[in-house]
Structures are given as structure tokens and as C-alpha cells.
Structure 1
Amino acid sequence: MFEKYWDERAQLFPLEATAQGDNRYNDLLPNDGTQAYREAQRQFFQQYLDELKKFDRAKLSTVDQVSYDIFRYEMQMRLEGLKQLSWMMPFSQFNGLPISLAQYGAGTGNQPFKTTQDYDNWLGRVRAYPVWADTAISNMRRGMRAGVVLPRPLVEKMLPQLQAMVTADASKSIFYGPVTKFPAAVSAADQQRLTAAYQQAISQQVVPTYQKLHDFLKNEYLPKARTTTGISAVPGGEGMYRYAVKYWTTTDRTPDQIYQTGLAEVKRIRQEMEKIKNEVGFKGDLQAFFTYLNTDPKFMPFKTPEEVLNVYRGIQARIDPNLKKMFGRVPKTGFEVRQTEAFRAATASAQYNRGLPDGSRPGIFYVPIVDATKYNVTRGMDALFLHEAIPGHHYQISLQQENTALPKFRRFNGYSAFSEGWALYVESLGQDLGVYTDPYQRMGALNTEMHRAIRLVVDVGMHHKGMTREQAIQYMRENRSIDEQGATAEIERYMAMPGQALSYKTGQMHILGLRSKYQKQLGPKFKLSAFHDELLANAAMPLAIAEKTMDAWAARQR
């Protein structure tokens, strides 16, 4: 049943299939904003939930019982998600097809461009984009009538993003990238045919569609965009936020409980920051210390993006000897550090793009560098690398994908609370891994952890407690070292994706709690590398199910 589910799911979500290396539907771009498509999803998930219930869980093996629990959770959450009105806001400055299409089409992302067929497949996707955009516009108009619209500051950020895709010369488009580097497998005749086809697709389909979306947002949507900040301001928004909190944290914790945890964590981390400020002999208050870290030229030593990237590559070399003590299992998937593409760098966060288990695509750590001369070393470069790259997302996602003993829906699925929780947890391993060797690096690590604690306060604050965008930006700047542009991009990201920012700290604290519990239970029998290996071997899952599987592991150790 799991095999059948995953096989059929690929056709429903072909972009996800491409990202996972399943190339059967690389020419498909479903019109996912239609009611018919949402109904097809509802029937699909309901059918598999009904099929699951035919199995007697008690008669399954231990591994299959865990898969059963995760699958049931997944189907129920998907069905609940389809009841939300988020389809009226189909994309934002932070996510959605207009951004991801450019990442796929650039020739450096998930879409393969190795054969003639690959090139033709992409043309199939591009042809469907104008229809997708017409549906998106129609849905946004329905949102305008219902009052389910994006906040104005986000729409203002979307306009230059869309305009950046509009170019009179097709060869200057990011979508022309694959044409500039045909592989040898594509014949000369095909190269000539495809070059003409790509020029035509860019000038007749891609560019006019981005222009149309831009003009609609500017002329119709922006005047109707809301001046409120949080999702609770739209009709049904309170329910949408409750669902988002459950979806992203995989827990039943209430927004108010999460908010209180955030306040307590901000207070604790501030105390740790005060200690470092005193240790380096800084005389002003914490706010002045943040300003010093943000503005002193000695913390901005870079001249070129390559110099920034080389620091990250150096971290990998430094931690390598100690990784072997903490992990018995190491991924086979390759790994690279790259600069984020220019068109999205201004609104992007550092991120990890998964590789493929067959080795055909490495895991990629993307670093946004708008201006290398302003890139600050006290941002927590060590902690960021541990989180986004090794042993954070790269280890967790690669080991999960490489584990062929698991059904594919577990190998290729993700739960933000688990994967982001893991990535934030490994930041706490920095000193054991041989980084955070001076107070400024430790301050950088505290800064990144503080960032995740602040998220609990501002995300709930904006979407549940009436906090404004400006108050959220101010709160972030009062409690961590970050400049205005950085704080604004972050806060607007949480406005675009309610609840997602809660997953990091929720997951991290859960994993730290499990580690502490088993250290007490097992005493000298507790081995950190065994704990890490077991946690990652089971793949990402909802936190309560993860705890159950780890409890069983601890019982076996005893």
C-alpha cells in the first residue's frame, strides 16, 4: 500500500517528484489552484486513510506500526489542510511557484537538463505556467472579495521579484541558463531546435506571465492588500493559525503555551549574552553591544562572495575529525556550498537543498550574499553551517533518503519540527565539534538560538495576539544582533508562512529533552553517537511518534 501510495502521489505532486529524483512527470505542472485539483487531493488522501484502516495495527511488525502511525497522521493532517482558505493566497515574496519555477528553470536546481528529453520536458512545464498564473489571479480576486488577502508590505516585495523576470532579450533571462550549457548528449540539430524553442517560450510564455502577475498585483491587488499583520485578521484566520501551529510543530501545544516558552527562552539566552558581553570587556548595555557587533568594520572582513563561501568550506574541514566521535553513520550523498541566486538573494534566508541518494545531485547549502563587504562574521557562521549543512540538514535528510529499509513516504517526507528541531539541536554541539572557540563565535551561536526563541514570541504575537509588523521587527532587534534589513526580511517571512517559524525551537527542545531523559535512564550505558544514529535512522516524524520510537530504543539499551 505504501509503495502504491508513493507511486501515485508523484503524479499529483510532480514538482516534488522531480526534487526527489523521480523523473517520470518532469513535463507536468498541475494547475494546483483549481477546485478540481483540491478535490482530487481530498479523494486521494481519504482513499488511503480508508485503506489504512483495513489493516490490524496490532498484527504489524514494530517498524510497520511506526509507519502506520506516521501515515495515519499524515493523511489526517493533509485532509484538514485542504479545508483551509490558503488557496486564496497562492504565492508570496517567500514561497510559491513564481519563485520556485525560476529555481527549477535556471538549470542549476532540481530540474535535470542532461538529455534532449530533459530539455523538452521543461518546455512542457513552461507551457502550463500561463494557465497556472490565470488561476492564481482568479483565486486572489476571490480572496479580495472575501477579505483573505496578503499584507501590503509583502505585496510590495513581490513586485520587484516578478519584474526581475521580465526581460526584452530572452538570452538575458534566468530561464535561458540551460541553453548556455548544452551537454554533449544533445545533438547539434536538437541544440538548434531547442535554442529557438527556449527563446520563444521565454518571450511568449514566461516573460508575459511574470509581467501579467506583476501588473495584476500592482494595479488591482496592492490597493486591496491588508494593512493588518497577522493571519487572524482575515475571515477564518484564527482557525487557519491553529491548524498552522499543529501542522508545523506536530504537537497539540496552544499558541499561548508556545508564546510563554518563547518569553522564557529569550530571557535565558539574554543572560548568556550578558555573560559574553562582560567576558570581552564591553562597557555599554546589551543593545549597544549588538550595535557594536553589527557595525564595527572588523566584523566585516570580506571583499568578495567567494571569501564568504570559503569560510563556510573551512568550517567543514575543522569539524570533520570530531564528527566521527558523534556519528556512527555518515551520508554517502555529496555536498556543496553555493551562493544564492541573485534574483532571490535579498529576501532569501540561508537554506539547504536536498541531494539525491543515487549521487546524481549533491546536497547544496545556499548562502545569500547581497553585499560581501557587509557580510558579518558575528552572525553565527559556524552555527549556521552546523544547522543548514553538516551535521544538520545534510546528515538528517541524506541519511533518511539513503535508508532503503524504510518505505518511500518516510524516506522522502519531512516534518519541519523534526528536521528543523534536529538542525537547531546540532548547533548546541558546536564546542564538542571544535568550533565556537572564541567569545564572538559563541555570541554568534547564541544569536542564532536567540533568533529561534524570538520566533516563538513574534509568530504567535503577530498571528494570535495582535502584534504589528513594526513591533515584531523592533522586538527582534531589541533581543539579538541583526540589522534593519535582516530583521524586516525575517518578520515578513513569518507573515507569509504563519506557524512555520515555531517548528525550530519546539523540535530542538524536544530532542534536548529526550537526550537528557535517556542520559538519566541509561547512565554509563548512554552513548551519544548511538542516540544520534537511532534518531536519524528512523527518519523525520511527528515528535510524539519520535519519542515513542526512541523510548523503545532506550528500553533495548537497558
Structure 2
Amino acid sequence: MSTTALSATSAKLNGLLDTLLDAFFKNSPEAGAFLDWPRYRDEIFDLTKQDEYLATCAHTAAELDLLDKSTLTEDEQNLIIMVKSFIKKETLEARTISRKDMPATHMQGTIVGSWMQLVHASAVKTVKDIENFRSRLEKIAPRMDQVIDGFRKGIESKYTLPIRSIDLLIKGCDGYITEDPATNPWNIVKDVTAVGLPEDFLHDAIRTSVVPAHKKLKTFLQDEYRQHARKYDGIYGMPGSEEAYQDFIRIHTDSDVTADELHQLGLKEVARIATEMEATIAKLGFQGSIKDFINALNDKTQYPHLYIDNVDDIIPAYESLLKIIDAKMPAFFGKFPKDKCAIVAVPAHSEAGAPEAMYFPGTKEKPGKFLVNLSLAKGVPTHGMRALLLHEANPGHHHQMSLALERDTDHDIRKLIFSTAQVEGWGLYSESLGVELGMYEDPLDWFGRLELEMHRALRLVVDTGLHHLGWSVDKVKDSMRPYVSLSESTLENEAIRYACMPGQALAYKYGEIKIQAMRATAAKRLGDKFDLRAFHDVLMGLGTAPLDYFETVVGKWVDAQLSE
């Protein structure tokens, strides 16, 4: 093969990917901060641009098929495979019922997504940055009109939200409706004054765009939309729901596994983990069922040492545990991100619809954040803290996603390729690493880890129950309650989350099972040559690529080890 041929084909490939990357950020400008994208910094998502983006996706896929793969390196050929997978997911997501007819939920979309992305990720170091931020605030009003139009289309097509999510959306609006712009969550006054601008620089945009937009949405939801809430809590029973749910399964598991198969897998895992939980209870000398033990854990008088009395001590407790974990990690990992994980509280105005904890990725300027919902964390036992921290911070989401954003790649588009099953599977796998990290020496902490694993196994059961079998949120809670020590408010939040995010809850256990299988296969093939630290670094070097790509690369790594 000639160098000219290699250079020409590579150049065409890079040109196609450059165009696709720019089209992605034009369609999703808020995400630009994660890669420090220089364009669209004064824009927010605009639905009218989506068709143009999807056309670019289709054109790119067709052009990639026409490239002479024999003139490309193996890495470039692998990149094409991943980009085509990325395009397929983008297209699948656009055609699901959630994009245009249900443009927002209490968990995703304009209210939650925009605030989290823009306030956390936007560059705010210069006057121009703040001016761009203000421009984005001014665009919230027209964007909210698009959301309302989308909801109205959903009423016509019978694709609407469940009543509980609507009520949480209504409640969520209240956090952005303030009489005084200075107290509005969008008023990033410290950043404004830090660049020398007056502290009221954003007030007009908040007063004329942000506040009226949320008032308008709240009125629409209360007076027009709420009465059209869907009959079932899941998407079950809606037109085309069976096909749509299979699309969601493909998006979140990287596979064509069926809803029935996932439901049965969940039931099998629930039974297995329950046996381990019962054995742990017996070891602790407790007489009774899993539910009896959970009730005992929830009784502060029986296990007072599991409770943090002062809510202000919760985040410091997590920070102390993270220092212990970080000190142990070099024995299991050779690659580390430049920024430590920040642990912060979920903002008060977002607590109502937020889960107990979540992770938000960093940017080139800001570290990733582990966010704790203090309204749900206070007054509950802490036996699951270690497993949760391993999942959300290190070696889970923060470790993996920070390395993915920092890694040198053949093209930046690699950093957009995101597999829910791989990322959430890694988070759950990280919880299991707590055994080798020495984080579960107390049987109560080990029970907490089993409880969190049970939680993810139950998600396989209840997600398919909601969207494939027609379950209600109440049935979901009844199915979960015997196995988890979640408060009723947390359990309610979890169940409504699954109802509004079809398929996402499947990713955790399905992905973890796949990663555990990769490790087991590699260890079996390599025997004494298996190096767990090297295995982890191979995985971390792949970013957040799809599971099938991980399996291929791990297989090649094992082959290379055996040939030495």
C-alpha cells in the first residue's frame, strides 16, 4: 500500500469525522464544553436543527462505507466501527418516542439537563464567556416554546408523560421562578463579578427569559397537559411501544437481547443475591428475613453507628472514605486522571426530582462531580456509602470518564462515543472491586454492597415490568421494598425515574455481567500470566466505547499476552 493512498483515505476519514463532530455540537451546543469546542458557545439546543444533524449522520455513515478500508490502519478501521455504532444510536434515539413528543421529563431535558450542563460545564473565565452565557439564557424562552409545542404533539399522538413525572416537572419549574433575579439558580454572580462585570449583568435575561419561560411551562403543564397523562406509568400500551422499547434496549445494552430475556435474567440475579444477603444476615447473628433485617437497619435505635446525625457531616464522610479508596487504587490501576473527584450537594432547587446520588463529568476546566442529594441522604443508614462511592467516584464513573475525556485519541469524536451499558456496568463492577480493595471488612458494609447489587438486579425486573409488562409504579415499589433499605421518598423517586427513562436502568447489571465475563475469560486463558492491574488499564484505555468493542480488544490483548 502506498503512503499516498494511506494519507488520502485517512484525510477523507478525518474530514468526515470533523464534519460530524461539528454537526453534533451544533445540534447539542451545551455539550461543547466537555471538549472545549470553540463554536456555538452562545447557543442552546434548538429542535429545528435536529433534522440537519441526522442528515449529516446518514451522509457520514454512507461515506464511511465507501472508504477503502485496506488503506487504513487497524485503529482507524476500529474507529469507523465505533462511529457507525455511535451514528446508529443517535438515529435510534431520535426516532424513539422521547425526543419530539416527550421533549422533557423531571429527570432529563430542558429543566434539569440545561441547568446542569450550562452552569456546571460552561466556560466562565472571560467577559466573552459570560456574554455567551447570557445569550444562552435569552434563548431559554424560545426553547421552552419548543418544549410546549412538543408536549402538544404528544397529546395528539398519545405519547405523554405519567402523572407523577408531570407533577415533578411542575414542582421543578418553581425553583426557577423567582421574584428577585439575584436569587435565581441561573445567576452565577461569583463568575460574573470575577471577570469584572456588574453583579446584575444577568438579571435582565433572567427576568425576561428564564422566569417567564418557566411560568409559561408550569401553567401549560397544570392547565392543559396534566389531564392527558398516559394511562400506564411506563410506555407500555402507547402506540408502537413494543418497537420503541426494543430500541431503548438496544441503546442501553448495546445488544438485541429481548425484554423477556432481561426480565428472566433479573429474576435469576435477584434469587442469587438474596441467598448471599441471607448468608450475611446469618453471619451477623440476626434472626429473621431480609426485610426484617432491613427494617432493623432503618431503626436508628438498633444500629445508631450507621447514622450521621448532622446533615453537614454527610459530604465530609464521603470525602474521608474517598481518601481511603484513592490510597488503595495504585495496586489495581496504573492510569489516573489529573483532577480529583469533587463531592458536592445536589442544589436545593433540584432535590425533588434528583436521585440519591449521581455523577456529572468534568471538563478541561472543571473536575467531575459526585453529587449527593442531602434531602434523601439524611436520616438513612450508611451501610451502602462505600459501594455507592466506589460506583460514582473511584474507581467508577469519575475515574473512567475523566480518563476518557483526557485520553489522546486518533480523533476527538471518540470522546463522544458513549455506551450506557459499558459505563454503568463499569460502575457496578467497581462496587465489586471493593472486596479486593478491602472496603467491605465489616459485614454491614458488605451487606450494603449486596443491597446495591440487588438494587441493580431488581432494575432488570422492574424496567421490563414497567415498559413491557404494564406494571405500575406502585408494583415496582412493592417488588423492590423487601430487598432494599431505601426510604419511601427515595423509592418513589427511583420508580418514577425508571418510568420516565425506558431501558436506562437495564444497563447496570447487564453491563456488569459482561465486564465480569471478560475478566473471567481473560483470567482463565492467561492463568498465572493474568495481571488484574494491566487488565483494568486496558479497559480504561478504551474510554466509554461499546461493550462489543471492549470484548474484541480484550480478546486481542489476551492473544498478545499468550504469544509473548
TM-score by length of structure 1 reads 0.94
Q: Deviations 1:277-330 (Å, cap 9, x if unpaired)?
A: 111111222111111112324155323333111111111221233211111111
> Following the alignment from structure 1 to structure 2, what is the Cα–Cα distance between the partners of residues 506 and 527?
24
Aligned CA distance change for structure 1 residues 281 and 150 (closer, same or farther; 3 Å): same
- 1:364: which partner in 2? 369
- 1:458: which partner in 2? 462
> Following the alignment from structure 2 to structure 1, what is the Cα–Cα distance between the partners of residues 312 and 454?
28
1:201 maps onto 2:205 in alignment: yes
Matched residue type, 1:272: E
Q: Quick check: 224-233 or 6-15, which moved more? A: 6-15
- 1:65: which partner in 2? 77
Shift of the alpha carbon at 1:343? 1.1
Match runs of 1:357-436 below 5 Å: 358=364, 360-370=365-375, 373-378=378-383, 380-436=384-440
1:20 maps onto 2:35 in alignment: yes
- 1:113: which partner in 2? 124
> Following the alignment from structure 1 to structure 2, what is the Cα–Cα distance between the partners of residues 75 and 411?
14
Q: Does the 8 A contact of 1:327 with 1:532 survive in 2?
A: yes
Q: Does the 8 A contact of 1:255 with 1:460 survive in 2?
A: yes
> Following the alignment from structure 2 to structure 1, what is the Cα–Cα distance between the partners of residues 162 and 313?
37
- Which stretches in structure 2 are left out of the alignment for 5+ residues? 1-13
Q: Does the 8 A contact of 1:304 with 1:372 survive in 2?
A: no
Q: Quick check: 87-96 or 17-26, which moved more? A: 17-26
- 1:529: which partner in 2? 533
1:486 maps onto 2:504 in alignment: no
Matched residue type, 2:372: V
- 1:98: which partner in 2? 111
- 1:283: which partner in 2? 287
Matched residue type, 1:352: Y
Two-structure CA RMSD over aligned residues (Å): 1.7
> Following the alignment from structure 1 to structure 2, what is the Cα–Cα distance between the partners of residues 299 and 161?
35
Matched residue type, 2:35: Q
Aligned CA distance change for structure 1 residues 104 and 247 (closer, same or farther; 3 Å): closer
Shift of the alpha carbon at 1:200? 1.4
SS at 1:351 equivalent: strand
> Following the alignment from structure 1 to structure 2, what is the Cα–Cα distance between the partners of residues 217 and 328?
51
1:77 maps onto 2:105 in alignment: no
Aligned CA distance change for structure 1 residues 73 and 272 (closer, same or farther; 3 Å): same
> Following the alignment from structure 2 to structure 1, what is the Cα–Cα distance between the partners of residues 54 and 513?
34
Q: Deviations 1:374-401 (Å, cap 9, x if unpaired)?
A: 14202x1101111100111111111112
Shift of the alpha carbon at 1:23? 4.5
1:352 maps onto 2:326 in alignment: no
Aligned CA distance change for structure 1 residues 123 and 150 (closer, same or farther; 3 Å): same
Q: Deviations 1:118-160 (Å, cap 9, x if unpaired)?
A: 1110111111111111111111111112211011111111111
> Following the alignment from structure 2 to structure 1, what is the Cα–Cα distance between the partners of residues 374 and 511?
28
TM-score by length of structure 2 reads 0.93
Matched residue type, 2:22: D
- 1:169: which partner in 2? 180
Matched residue type, 1:257: E
Shift of the alpha carbon at 1:104? 4.5
Matched residue type, 2:111: P
Matched residue type, 2:426: W
1:41 maps onto 2:53 in alignment: yes
SS at 2:172 equivalent: helix
- 2:312: which partner in 1? 306
Q: Does the 8 A contact of 2:124 with 2:191 survive in 1?
A: no
Aligned CA distance change for structure 1 residues 169 and 333 (closer, same or farther; 3 Å): same
Q: Does the 8 A contact of 2:27 with 2:46 survive in 1?
A: no
SS at 1:257 equivalent: helix
> Following the alignment from structure 2 to structure 1, what is the Cα–Cα distance between the partners of residues 45 and 433?
42
- 2:501: which partner in 1? 497
Aligned CA distance change for structure 1 residues 409 and 229 (closer, same or farther; 3 Å): same
Aligned CA distance change for structure 1 residues 181 and 542 (closer, same or farther; 3 Å): closer
Matched residue type, 2:295: T
SS at 2:96 equivalent: coil
Q: Deviations 1:337-391 (Å, cap 9, x if unpaired)?
A: 11111111232121111123x4x2111111110166414202x110111110011
Q: Does the 8 A contact of 1:151 with 1:225 survive in 2?
A: yes
- 1:182: which partner in 2? 192
- 1:516: which partner in 2? 520
Shift of the alpha carbon at 1:103? 2.8
Matched residue type, 1:303: D
> Following the alignment from structure 1 to structure 2, what is the Cα–Cα distance between the partners of residues 394 and 404?
18
SS at 2:370 equivalent: strand
Shift of the alpha carbon at 1:515? 0.5
Match of 2:224 among 220, 232, 235: 220
> Following the alignment from structure 2 to structure 1, what is the Cα–Cα distance between the partners of residues 483 and 465?
15
Shift of the alpha carbon at 1:78? 2.0
Q: Does the 8 A contact of 2:172 with 2:352 survive in 1?
A: no
> Following the alignment from structure 1 to structure 2, what is the Cα–Cα distance between the partners of residues 351 and 372?
12
Match of 2:330 among 324, 327, 333: 324
Shift of the alpha carbon at 1:75? 1.5
Aligned CA distance change for structure 1 residues 23 and 183 (closer, same or farther; 3 Å): farther
Match of 1:3 among 7, 18, 21: 18
> Following the alignment from structure 1 to structure 2, what is the Cα–Cα distance between the partners of residues 154 and 371?
18
Q: Deviations 1:189-230 (Å, cap 9, x if unpaired)?
A: xx23xx444221111211111011001000101111123112
SS at 1:467 equivalent: coil
Q: Does the 8 A contact of 2:358 with 2:371 survive in 1?
A: yes
- Which stretches in structure 1 are left out of the alignment for 5+ residues? none
Match of 1:315 among 321, 326, 336: 321
Q: Does the 8 A contact of 2:458 with 2:480 survive in 1?
A: yes
Aligned CA distance change for structure 1 residues 246 and 184 (closer, same or farther; 3 Å): closer
> Following the alignment from structure 2 to structure 1, what is the Cα–Cα distance between the partners of residues 381 and 176?
29
Aligned CA distance change for structure 1 residues 39 and 371 (closer, same or farther; 3 Å): closer
